[in-house]
Amino acid sequence: MPRTLITSAIPYINGIKHLGNLVGSQLPADLYARYCRARGDEVLFLCATDEHGTPAELAAAKAGKPVDEFCAEMHEVQAAIGAGFGLSFDHFGRSSSPQNHRLTQHFAGALAANGLIAEVSEKQVYSNADGRFLPDRYIEGTCPNCGYDKARGDQCENCTKQLDPTDLINPRSAISGSTDLEVRETKHLYLKQRSLRDELSRWIDSKADWPVLTTSIARKWLNDGDGLQDRGITRDLHWGVPVKKGTEDWPGMEGKVFYVWFDAPIEYIACAEEWQDAGKGSDWERWWRTDKGAEDVRYVQFMGKDNVPFHTLSFPATILGSGEPWKLVDYIKSFNYLNYEGGQFSTSQGRGVFQDQALEILPADYWRWWLLSHAPESSDTEFTWETFQQDVNKDLADVLGNFVSRVTKFCRSKWGEEVPAGGALSERGKALIDDLQGKLADYTAQMDAIEVRRAAATLRSMWVAGNEFLQSAAPWTTFKQDPEAAAADVRLALNLIRVYAVLSAPFIPFSAERMLADMRTDEAAWPTDLSAALTALPAGHAFTVPEVLFAKIADETREDWAARFSGIRS
Ligand SMILES: Nc1ncnc2c1ncn2[C@@H]1O[C@H](COP(=O)(O)OP(=O)(O)OP(=O)(O)O)[C@@H](O)[C@H]1O
Ligand SMILES: [Zn+2]
C-alpha cells in the first residue's frame, strides 16, 4: 500500500484566517489527502497552528489575554473552523507543544554539533518603555528617502526602499509609540545556510517535476545577489521555544527563544508525535525517519508562495544539516495568491471574507468548490461576489444538483423510490460510459499530478455529460412508447449519482455524503471500470429523493454580502 505524508502550511495564530489562507494551503492539501485515501493509500495528513513570535504576543495583548491563553483559545477556534470546512486532518497540532519544544532544541543541538551554528553579536533597538527588543518592523519613523512618516524599520511602504531601523528619522516603538529607544548589543545564533548551499542547490536541481513556482523561488534565493545567506534563528522574546542545545543550556543565550520560522516547520514532525501521544496512532517515526520505516513514504507539502523559501531552503537546511535520517519533502505544491474584489485579502487589515463568516452564510461545499476550481495555480486569481454567485449557481445548482433532482424525481413519479427494472443499456448509454471512462482517466491523472483546477474542470465535464445524456435520452418522452428503454436510462442515471458522489467527494465531501445517504448505499470504493461501477445499484434498490442539494444564490443575497464584506473587519 503506498504511504503518503501530507502537510499543509501551518496557519498563524494571530486571528481568524481568510479564504486566501484556505485555498493557498489547507484546502488543496485536504483535497489531495481525501483523494489519496480514496485511492487506497495509507495517509497521514497533518496541520497545526503556528503560535510563536511577536505578532502572537501583540494579538494577545490587544485581546487583553496572556499569550499562552490567547493561543490555546485561538487554536480551538481554528480547529473548529477547519472541521467546519471538512478539513480531514489526522491531527491538528500546536507549534507550542512540548513535543515541538523538545524537537526544536534537539535540531539546534545537532546543527551545533555539526558546526552549522554561528554565534553573532549584533546591535538591536531596545524599547525601555516596552521592556523589550523591537523587531525591525515594530519600529516606525520618518523615511529618509521620501519623508513618509509611517515607514517601518525594515521597509518604507510608501517608496518601497529597504531600510535599517537606524536609518529612520525620529524612530518610535510601533507597539507603545514611545521614543525612549536605545541600541543595545545582543547575541544571536545563525544557521550557516551558506555552507549547505551546494547541497541544497543539487537537491533542488533533482526536483525536475516540481511546479516552476516552487523551484523558481528557491533558485532566486539560492543564486540572486550574494546567494543564500546565513539566517538568524533566535530572537529576544519571551514567547517561544527557549534556546537550548538539545537538553543542555546554551551559555550566553539565556532568556532567548528560537525564531518562529525555525520552530514552525519542525512542528510538521512534532505533530506526528503529538498525533501518537493523543492516542490517534502509533509508531510516528515510521512516517518521518528513513531508518525507522519512512523510506517508502512520499511526502507532499502545500503552501502559498511566500512560504516557499522556508520550505525549499531553510527547513531542508535544518534537516540536512542535522546529519540525521529525517525525511525530506518529495513534492512541494505551491500557490499564488487569491485576491479579494480588486485588492488583497489581509488578516492584519481585516480585508476580505474570513473563514468563520464564510461558514455562517453558506455551507462549506460551496466554498470548497469555488475556491478549488479557481485555485491560484498559474497566477493570482480574484474572488468577486459576482463570479462566485455565477459559478456556484451554474456548476453546483444547474449542473450537478439539477441532474440529481431531475433523475430522482422523475423516477419517483413513474416507478416510485427504487431503481427501475427492465430494458437494456442503450447505445446512448454505452457512449456515455465510454466518454466518462476517458474523462475518469484524465481526472485521476490530474489528481495524481495535483493539478487542482484542471481536475475540477474535468469533474465538472463529467457532471455535464450526465446532464447531456439525460437531455438527449429524454426518458420522460420515451417512457410513453418504450417504458423499458426509459427504465434502463433512468437506472444508469441513478447509478451515476452514486458514482458522482464518490468521484466528487474530495472536492465536496458533505454533499457527496448526502448523495450516498440518499442513494442508501455505502459502496464508496473508487471506481476504475465504470461499466461495472454503474451497475452497483441494482433494480429494486431503494433510494430517497434528496432535499435541494444546492440552493441557488439570489442576486439580492449576493448584493447584501458584497455590501456586508466591503469594509474592514474590526
Ligand atoms: N491571499 C492568499 N492567497 C493564497 N494563499 C495565501 C494568501 N495569503 C496567505 N496565504 C497562504 O496561507 C497560508 C497560511 O498563512 P498564514 O497564516 O501564515 O498567513 P499570512 O501569510 O500571514 O497571511 P495573512 O497575514 O494575509 O493572513 C500560507 O501558506 C500562506 O502562504
Ligand atoms: Zn519612503
Query: pLDDT per residue over 200-224, tens digit each?
Result: 999 999 999 999 999 999 999 999 9
Task: Quote the cell numbers at residue 531.
Answer: 461499466
Higher pLDDT, 54 or 454: 454
The CA 150 to ligand 2 mean position distance, Å, reads 9
Is 36 a residue whose pLDDT tops 90? Answer: yes
| Cα-to-centroid distance, 405 and ligand 2 (Å) | 60
Ligand closest to CA 169: 2
Please state which of the four CATH numbers 1.10.490.10, 1.10.1270.20, 2.60.40.10, 1.10.730.10 is assigned to the domain occupying 386-533: 1.10.730.10
In whole angstroms, how far apart are CA 512 and each of 248, 256, 401, 470, 500?
A: 52, 50, 11, 20, 8
Q: Is the pLDDT of residue 56 over 80?
A: yes
* Predicted local distance difference test score (pLDDT) of residue 110: 98
Q: Residue 495's pLDDT band (boundaries 50, 70, 90)?
A: very high
On average, the pLDDT of the chain sits at: 96
- Asked whether the predicted pLDDT for residue 335 surpasses 90, the reply is yes
Residue ranges of the binding site: 143, 146, 156, 159, 347
The mean per-residue pLDDT over the stretch 480-494 comes to 97
Question: 157: CA distance to ligand 2 center in Å?
Answer: 7
In ligand 1, which atom is closest to the CA atom of 24?
Answer: 5
- Our mutation pick for probing the ligand 1 site, out of 21, 49, 348, 356, counting the most ligand atoms within 8 A of Cβ, is 21
Three state DSSP letters for 412-437: HHHHCCECCCCCCCCHHHHHHHHHHH
Whether the Cβ atoms of residue 433 and residue 465 lie closer than 8 Å to each other: no
Over residues 401-429, the pLDDT tens digits come to 999 999 999 999 999 999 999 999 999 99
Q: How far is the CA of 83 from the centre of ligand 2 (A)?
A: 43
CA of 137 to the centre of ligand 2 (A): 14
For the structural domain made of 3-114+198-224+261-335, what CATH number should be given? Answer: 3.40.50.620
Q: Which ligand is nearest to the CA of 28?
A: 1
Residue 358 has pLDDT above 80, yes or no: yes
Q: For residue 570, is pLDDT > 80?
A: no
Q: Where are the beta strands (DSSP E) in 27-150?
A: 42-49, 91-94, 117-127, 132-133, 139-142
Read off the pLDDT of each residue in 471-492 and give the average, rounded to a whole number. Answer: 97
Name residue 117's beta-bridge partners: 191
Among all ligands shown, which has an atom nearest to the Cα of 16?
Answer: 1
CA dihedral 85, 464, 446, 218 (to 10 degrees): -60
Average pLDDT of the segment spanning 42-55: 96
Coil, helix or strand for 183? strand
Confidence category of residue 348, pLDDT binned at 50, 70, 90: confident
Which of 301, 306, 371 is the pocket-test mutation for ligand 1 (most atoms within 8 Å of CB)? 306
ipTM of the modeled complex: 0.94
Which residue lies with its CA nearest to atom 30 of ligand 1?
A: 304
For 249-267, the pLDDT digits (tens) are: 999 999 999 999 999 999 9
- pLDDT of 159 reads 86
Per the annotation, binding residues for ATP are 347
Task: With residue 188 as reference, give the H or E element that holds it.
Answer: strand 181-191
Share of the chain above pLDDT 70, in %: 100
Look at the domain 117-191 and name its fold. Methionyl-trna Synthetase; domain 2 (2.170.220)
For 151-205, the pLDDT digits (tens) are 999 888 888 888 888 899 999 999 999 999 999 999 999 999 999 999 999 999 9
Q: Which atom of ligand 1 is nearest to the CA of 347?
A: 27
Whose CA is closest to atom 9 on ligand 1? 21
Question: Residues comprising the binding site for Zn(2+)?
Answer: 143, 146, 156, 159
User: Looking at the CA of 155, which ligand is closest?
Assistant: 2
Q: State the pLDDT at residue 126.
A: 94
Neighbours of 365 (CB within 10 A): 23
Residues within a 6 A CB radius of ligand 1: 9, 11-12, 17, 20-21, 23-25, 303-304, 306-307, 335, 337-338, 345-348
Q: What are the respective helix, strand and coil percentages of the chain, to the nearest 5?
A: 50, 15, 35
Instruction: Please name the residues in contact with 338: beta carbons below 8 A apart, sequence gap of 6 or more.
Output: 19, 20, 23, 24, 345, 371, 374, 376, 380, 381, 382, 383
Q: What is the pLDDT of residue 58?
A: 87
Q: Which residues touch 274 (CB under 8 Å, ≥6 apart)?
A: 48, 91, 93, 94, 97, 99, 100
Averaged pLDDT, 504-515: 98
pLDDT tens digits for range 361-388: 999 999 999 999 999 999 999 999 999 9
How far CA 431 is from CA of 215, 370, 434, 468, in Å, comes to: 42, 30, 5, 12
Q: Where are the domains of the chain?
A: 3-114+198-224+261-335, 117-191, 386-533
Lowest-pLDDT choice from 228-237, 388-397, 413-422, 492-501: 228-237
Confidence at 568, pLDDT banded by 50, 70, 90: confident
CA of 171 to the centre of ligand 2 (A): 14
Q: Is the pLDDT of residue 53 over 80?
A: yes
Provide the pLDDT for residue 283. 97
pLDDT number for residue 349: 82
The rounded Å distance from CA 103 to ligand 1 centre is: 25
- What is the Rg, in whole angstroms, of the alpha carbon atoms belonging to the chain? 27
Q: What is the pLDDT of residue 397?
A: 98
What pLDDT score was predicted for residue 157? 83
**pLDDT exceeds cutoff 90 at 308:** yes
Closest CA to 550 of 497, 505, 511: 511
- Residue pair 396/553 in contact (Cβ under 8 Å)? The answer is no
